[in-house]
Structure 1
Amino acid sequence: MNVSGSLSRRRMVAVLGALAVPLTGRGGDASALAGRGNDTPVPVAPAGVTPEQVARDEGFWRSVARQYRVSDDFVNLENGYYGIMPEPVRLAYHRATDRLNEYSSHLLRTTYKDEAEQVRRRVAAVVGVEPGEIALTRGGTEALQLLIAGYRRLRPGDAVMYADLDYHSGRYAMNWLRQRRGVQVERLTIPEPATRQAVLDAYATALKEHPRVRLLLLSHMNNITGLVTPVERIVAMARERGVDVIVDAAHSWGHLDFTMADLGADFGVFSLHKWVGAPLGTGFIHIRASRLADVEPAFCDESYPADDIRSRVHCGTQDVAPVLTVGAALDFHDRLGAAVKQARLRFLRDRWVSQVLEVPNVEVLTPEEDGMYGAITAFRIAGRTSEADNAAITTELMDRYRIFTVRRGGLVGGACVRVTPALFTSRDEVDLLAGAVRDLARRMGS
Structure 2
Amino acid sequence: MNNRRSFMKKSAALGLGAFGINSLFNELHAADFQNAERFWDPGSETNDDYWATIQEAYTASKSDVIILNNGGVSPSPLVVQEALEKYNRQAAQGPSYYMWRIMDKGREPLRQRLAAMGGCDPEEIAINRNATEALNTVIFGLPLQKGDEVIGMKYDYPNMMNAWRQRQLRDGIVYKQLSFDFPIENDAQIVKAYEDAITPQTKIIHVTHVVNWVGQIMPVKKISQMAHKKGIEVIVDGAHSFGLIDFKISDLECDYFGTSLHKFLSAPVGSGMMWVKKDKIAKIWPLVCNHEPTSADIRKFETLGTRSFCIEQAIGEAINFQEGIGTKRKQERIHYLKKYWAEKAQQIPGVKIHTSLKPEYSCAIAGVSVDGLKPGELDSKFFNDFKIHTTPVSYEGVHCVRVTPHVYTKISDLDKLVGALEKISKKA
Shorter-chain-normalised TM-score: which range?
A: 0.7 to 0.9
**Higher helix proportion (structure 1 or 2):** 2
**Structure 2 partner of 1:112:** 103
SS in 1 for 2:93: helix
Out of 162, 171, 175, the residue aligned to residue 172 of structure 1 is: 162
Q: Which has the higher contact order (CA 8 A, sep 6+)?
A: 1
Structure 1 unaligned blocks of 5 or more: 1-38
Alignment match, 1:345: 334
What is the aligned partner in structure 1 of residue 88 from structure 2? Answer: 97
Please state how far the C-alpha of 1:42 moved relative to its aligned partner: 4.3
Equivalent of 1:81 in 51, 72, 75: 72
Tell me what 1:148 maps to.
139
* TM-score in terms of structure 1 length: 0.84
Answer whether contact 1:298 1:311 (CA < 8 A) is retained: no
Counterparts in 2 of 1:228 and 1:205: CA distance versus 1, 3 Å: closer
1:201 aligns with 2:185: no
Q: Percent identity?
A: 27
> CA distance change for structure 1 residues 160 and 129 in 2, over 3 Å: closer, same or farther?
same
| 2:315 paired with 1:326 | yes
| Unpaired runs of at least 5, structure 2 | 1-27
| Change beyond 3 A, Cα 1:89–1:300 | closer
Which region of structure 1 is more displaced relative to structure 2, 329-338 or 79-88? Answer: 79-88
Q: How many residues align?
A: 397
Q: What is the alpha-carbon distance in structure 2 between the residues aligned to residue 205 and residue 65 of structure 1?
A: 41
8 Å contact from structure 1 (residues 345, 422) kept in 2 = yes
Distance 1:52 1:77, change over 3 A: farther
Correspondence for 1:268 among 257, 273, 283 = 257
**CA deviation digits over 1:238-266, x for unaligned, max 9?**
22232211111111111111111221111
Q: Deviations over 1:332-387 (max 9, x none)?
A: 11000001111110110010011122334222111123311111111222465xxx
Measure, in 2, the Cα distance between the counterparts of 1:156 and 1:81: 35
Q: What letter corresponds to residue 166 of structure 1 in structure 2?
A: D
Partner in structure 2 of residue 440 of structure 1: 424
3-state SS, counterpart of residue 110 of structure 1: helix
Shift in alpha-carbon separation, 1:106–1:60, aligned structure 2, 3 A: same
Matched, 1:132 2:120: no
Is 2:364 the partner of 1:380?
no
Which aligned pairs between 1:217-366 and structure 2 lie closer than 5 A?
Answer: 217-302=206-291, 306-366=295-355
Paired residues for 1:401-412 under 5 Å: 401-411=386-396
**Gap change, CA 1:307 and 1:374, over 3 Å in 2:** same
Q: Distance in 2 between matches of 1:209 and 1:147?
A: 22
Q: Name the aligned partner's letter for residue 193 of structure 1.
A: P
The answer to whether the aligner puts 1:213 opposite 2:202 as a matched pair is yes
SS of aligned partner of 2:345: coil
AA partner of residue 209 (structure 1):
A
Matched residue SS, 1:246: strand
2: CA distance between counterparts of 1:288 and 1:405?
Answer: 36
Give the whole-Å Cα distance in 2 for the aligned partners of 1:332 and 1:202: 35
1:57 to 30, 47, 55: 47
1:67 corresponding residue in structure 2: 57
Deviation at 1:292, TM superposition (A): 1.3
Q: Distance in 2 between matches of 1:324 and 1:236?
A: 36
Deviations 1:77-106 (A, max 9, x none): 111111111111111111111111113111
Letter of the 2:392 counterpart: R
Secondary structure, aligned partner of 2:398: coil
- Note the C-alpha offset of 1:410: 2.0
- C-alpha separation between the residues in 2 aligned to 1:230 and 1:240? 16
